[in-house]
């Protein structure tokens, strides 16, 4: 996840006042997608889950 501005080929979602953007093609491959805010012993952060297996869309680090 990163801060970004909407692009022509993005899906845009607003959930509870937070805007999420995702490349439309990647979204079609990955849906359904869940973004949860979690607290662990390591700290707080976002947990993103989808129908994709780790590394299946863009390799081990995705910048799609």
62 in a structural domain: no
Interatomic CA distance for residues 46 and 49, integer angstroms: 10
Domain residues for the domain of 19 are 10-49
Is 61 inside any structural domain?
Answer: no
Structurally, the chain folds into a number of domains equal to 1
- Rounded distance between C-alpha atoms, residue 49 and residue 15, angstroms: 16
Is residue 24 one of the residues assigned to a domain? Answer: yes
- Note if the pTM is more than 0.85: no
Q: For the segment 4-56, what is each residue's pLDDT rounded down to a tens digit?
A: 999 999 999 999 898 999 999 999 999 999 999 999 999 999 899 999 987 65
With contact defined as beta carbons under 8 Å apart, do 23 and 9 qualify?
A: yes
List, for residues 5-18, the tens digit of each pLDDT value.
999 999 999 998 98
- Do the domain assignments include residue 41? yes
Residue 42 lies in a domain: yes
Q: Which residues contact 31 (CB under 8 A, 6 or more apart)?
A: 50, 51
**Domain presence at residue 37:** yes
Residues with Cβ within 8 Å of 62's Cβ and at least 6 positions away in sequence, in order, are 26
Domain contains 31: yes
């Amino acid at each position: 996840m990163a801060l970004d501005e909407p692009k022509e080929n993005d899906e845009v979602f607003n959930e509870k006042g937070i805007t999420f953007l995702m490349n439309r093609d990647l979204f079609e491959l990955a849906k359904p997608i869940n973004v949860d805010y979690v607290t662990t012993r390591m700290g707080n952060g976002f947990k993103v889950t989808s129908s994709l297996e780790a590394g299946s869309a863009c390799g081990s680090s995705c910048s799609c």
